[in-house]
Structure 1
Amino acid sequence: MVFTHDTAVALIGAAAWVNTDADTEEIPDVAALDAFVTTWGWTGSRTHDETELLAVQGLRPRLRQLWLLDKDGVVALVNELLTEFRALPQLVRHDEWDYHLHATPSSAPLADRMAVEAAMAMVDVVRADELSRLRVCENFDCESVLVDLSRNRSKRYCDLVCTNRAAARAYRSRGAAAEV
């Protein structure tokens, strides 16, 4: 295992949030945010209002930068997020989870908790020198980010749709080359 379970979950959850498309706004309202939060198992208090929605939507471009910056840039952004949201790591146990780190109280705003959880996960990524496991999908028409947790670092596409598109393009390309 490359990362602890809570780090892997935090990275995948952050990638999922980053991949909610801001251009078509896949999380346009509080109900959609509620569904996302439920799907990804975010815990803690919620206000279920437009202010919370806008704060979480505003977090998306900052988190995307974690996949795009070099190591020094990632470190600067992680430190900025941890300072801004007053992270104070504590061991906690809840639901089906055994002890793991939370760096904000469960009463903190959702956007704060999301930002700090992503930042704390990135601390593990940087310390393990594993930034290469965070990348942008290699499908030419996709800008989604991914977390490669495979043993051989072979994940190239964000999901099965992009994987299948790439395979189909390669197949067509081989067929066209064979006809020449």
Structure 2
Amino acid sequence: MPFSHDMVYSLATVVELINTGADERDGLAGVEDLEAFVRQRQVSGVGRVTDHDLAEVRALRRDFHEVFTAPDSRAAIALLNTLLGRTRITPSLTEHDGFPVHVHYFAPGASVAEHLAADCGVALAHVIVEDEWERLRTCAAPDCSHVFVDESRNRSRVYCDSRTCGNRMHVAAYRARRRPAS
């Protein structure tokens, strides 16, 4: 995909955010989980995280999931415009934490949810503008609801992770083929 490092990083962040809600155990069960997410994804400019922040980020997670699972690009555009319309987007060039110069889209003093909505929302907007909406996918494994961005050259990726879901599904298909006919 022809996206810069910061766009790819923001897309990975939105995927990881959505997937915190895809398993039995909510990956954002408490403030500590949100703090760990912020640290792990190196979300800059975030101060103290509160229960209110946690509730906002969980709601944002649902909104982003709706964008990924929209039936078509028009629906994704409408959802994304609504989401972006709720943020105070203030583009600024920045250089920090060893990253090259890149653009932050969140306003100074923004909450963690608004920060994620702006940066990740703009990254998703670029995917749509580049006519790459179909790269936003849900895992094809029947027991998995993780999302991912298909970065393969030929847009053929169907599993969130080839080492887990992909391997499991390929082994199941192989075993089914090897079973004697009854």
TM-score (norm 1): 0.91
- State the partner residue of 1:75: 77
Amino acid at match of 2:174: Y
- State the partner residue of 2:30: 29
Measure the CA separation in 1 of the matches of 2:136 and 2:78: 17
Q: Secondary structure at the match of 1:95?
A: coil
Say whether residues 1:97 and 2:109 are aligned partners: no
- State the partner residue of 2:44: 43
| Per-residue deviation, 1:106 | 4.5
- State the partner residue of 2:172: 169
**Structure 1, unaligned stretches of length 5 or more?**
none
Higher relative contact order (CA closer than 8 Å, sequence separation 6+): 1
Q: Secondary structure at the match of 1:47?
A: coil
Cα RMSD for the two superposed structures = 1.6
Q: Secondary structure at the match of 2:158?
A: coil
Aligned counterpart for 2:158 among listed residues 156, 159, 163 = 156
Amino acid at match of 1:170: A
Measured against aligned partners, the alpha-carbon deviations of 1:51-96 in whole angstroms (never above 9, x if no partner) come to: 1111111211101011111211221222222221121222222221
Moved over 6 A (4+): none
Measure the CA separation in 2 of the matches of 1:79 and 1:19: 22
Conserved in 2, the CA contact under 8 Å of 1:45 and 1:106? no
- State the partner residue of 1:117: 119
Conserved in 2, the CA contact under 8 Å of 1:43 and 1:106? no
Say whether residues 1:8 and 2:8 are aligned partners: yes
Aligned counterpart for 1:146 among listed residues 145, 148, 158 = 148
Measure the CA separation in 2 of the matches of 1:34 and 1:99: 25
| Per-residue deviation, 1:137 | 0.2
Q: Aligned residues: percent identity? A: 35
**Structure 2, unaligned stretches of length 5 or more?**
none
Q: Secondary structure at the match of 1:98?
A: coil
| Per-residue deviation, 1:31 | 1.3
Conserved in 2, the CA contact under 8 Å of 1:148 and 1:154? yes
Measure the CA separation in 1 of the matches of 2:82 and 2:64: 12
Measure the CA separation in 1 of the matches of 2:44 and 2:92: 15
Amino acid at match of 1:145: V
Amino acid at match of 1:41: Q
TM-score (norm 2): 0.90
For residues 42-61 of structure 1, what are the structure 2 equivalents within 5 Å? Answer: 42-61=43-62
